[in-house]
Amino acid sequence: MIAQSPADPPAQDDVHTTVAAYYAAKLARHGAIPLGVDWSCEATQRLRFAKLLQVCAFDRPFSLNDFGCGYGALAVFLAERYPDTAIDYLGIDMVPSMIERARRRHRGKPLIRFALGRSIPRQADYAVASGVMNVKLHQPLPIWEGFVRSVLDDMHRTSRIGFAVNFLASPHPDAPPNQLYCPPPETWVRYCEQILGCSVAVLADYGMREYTLLVRRHPD
């Protein structure tokens, strides 16, 4: 059972600082490619995007928050895959170098914007987060799950229709011990249903060691 108490602020500050340093180092080493955000290749990165975006309805304009946006790869995917849908996109990341790369890459596109921060600064129709909760970097489990809970709460608070996140189901055999977070789906399905009061669909059959949760608010 996931605790419902607020996350401890000093502990969460440490999580954010550690995670930001980890991804800043990845970007500095690999550049603005999937390896720079700790994904193995573009094909699997794009498959994750396709699964997350199943929470959205593309037959009408909408707004989207992309939490943990990295260098803005999802914005490229959206423009290529859905060129006829007007999408008001905001990418949010806690790593300054990621936001700098993203803004440079999408300069001059008025519907694509980026913000530096640890939380989502606006209301939108939908939110997505790809890989944000996977690499816990030896943080104690209660502290890491406090971080996960805070992200889900923030996405729920700022999403009018729904949000989508993905989690690892099992670690890669070569992964360092105790570095990756691999919860069973029911852990966070139960939280989103019972605590956030949402409906949840689980996508788990797309050939990778992970699953995606599509979380939707119940109609008023």
What is the domain-level CATH number for residue 115? 3.40.50.150
Q: 8: Cβ–Cβ under 8 A, 6 or more apart, which residues?
A: 143, 146
Examine the pLDDT at 180 and tell me if it is beyond 80: yes
User: Which residue, among 182, 167, 156, has the nearest Cα to 131 in the 3D structure?
Assistant: 167
Q: Is residue 100 part of a domain?
A: yes
Q: Is residue 2 part of a domain?
A: no
What pLDDT sits at residue 39? 78
Average pLDDT over residues 29-46: 87
Examine the pLDDT at 59 and tell me if it is beyond 70: yes
Return phi, psi of residue 66, to 5°: -115, 100
- Output the six-digit token pair for 93: 């990341």
184-202 per-position pLDDT tens digit = 999 999 999 999 999 999 9
Q: How confident is the model at residue 3 (pLDDT cuts 50, 70, 90)?
A: very low
- Tell me the pLDDT of the chain averaged across its residues: 92
Average pLDDT over residues 134-143: 91
pTM of this structure: 0.91
Report helix, strand or coil for 42: helix
- Report the number of distinct structural domains present in the chain: 1
Q: Is residue 4 part of a domain?
A: no
Residue ranges making up the domain that contains 193: 9-217
Q: Is residue 80 part of a domain?
A: yes
The percent of residues in the chain predicted with pLDDT above 70, rounded, is 95
Examine the pLDDT at 220 and tell me if it is beyond 70: no
Q: Is residue 138 part of a domain?
A: yes
What pLDDT sits at residue 36? 85
- Asked if residue 125 lies in contact with residue 62, where contact means CB atoms within 8 angstroms, the answer is yes
Q: Is residue 1 part of a domain?
A: no
Q: How confident is the model at residue 8 (pLDDT cuts 50, 70, 90)?
A: low
What pLDDT sits at residue 7? 55
Report helix, strand or coil for 45: helix
Examine the pLDDT at 22 and tell me if it is beyond 50: yes
